């Protein structure tokens, strides 16, 4: 899924996130983890652009920028919290994965019914990003930021 809408206005943060992720994906020096994480970002941002166009929605720069920044923060926090949980126990690691995955499942952005497309990363057991593409990244990030503390605070 490599499309980037040329008709989009210059969304500064969105474009920066997209360009940086694309550069990593195209880099011969990227690790498998870096490649997967950044391919997920590129796919998500392309998905958002595609859905806005398909649904003929009017979205401003703030929408694109906030989705891109929240997506990046979500993925980064997931990696940090997964590493932290892994050091504690398998149970904590699984709780973190479930929390982040569920946040993407329960915060849809477009309510897309094409689950074959939206769930491709969720259904891939080898994915480092088991998340739904149809996600409101602002809401998902806000939800996980609040709830992840509960995982690490309980004994």
| Structural domain includes residue 4 | no
Residues near 78 by Cβ (< 8 Å), separated by ≥ 6? 96, 100, 129, 144
Q: Is residue 6 part of a domain?
A: no
> What pTM value is reported for the model?
0.89
- Structural domain includes residue 5: no
Judge whether 54 lies within some domain.
yes
Query: Looking at the 3D structure of the chain, how many domains does it have?
Result: 1
pLDDT band at 16 (very low <50, low <70, confident <90, very high): very high
Query: pLDDT-derived band of residue 11, with 50, 70 and 90 as boundaries?
Result: low
Q: In which domain, by residue range, is 93 found?
A: 12-153
Q: What is the pLDDT of residues 37-67, one digit of tens each?
A: 999 999 999 999 999 999 999 999 999 999 9
């Amino acid at each position: 899924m490599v499309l980037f809408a040329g008709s989009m206005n210059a969304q500064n943060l969105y474009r920066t996130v997209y360009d940086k992720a694309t550069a990593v994906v195209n880099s011969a020096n990227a690790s498998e983890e870096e490649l997967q994480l950044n391919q997920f970002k590129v796919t998500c941002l392309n998905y958002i652009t595609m859905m806005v166009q398909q649904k003929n929605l009017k979205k401003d720069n703030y929408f694109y920028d906030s989705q891109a920044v929240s997506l990046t923060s979500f993925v980064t926090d997931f990696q940090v919290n997964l590493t932290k949980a892994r050091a504690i126990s398998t149970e904590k690691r699984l709780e973190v994965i479930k929390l982040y995955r569920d946040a993407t499942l329960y915060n849809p952005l477009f309510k897309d019914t094409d689950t074959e497309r939206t769930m491709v990363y969720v259904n891939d057991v080898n994915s480092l990003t088991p998340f739904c593409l149809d996600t409101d990244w602002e809401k998902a990030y806000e939800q996980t930021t609040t709830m992840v503390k509960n995982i690490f605070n309980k004994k």
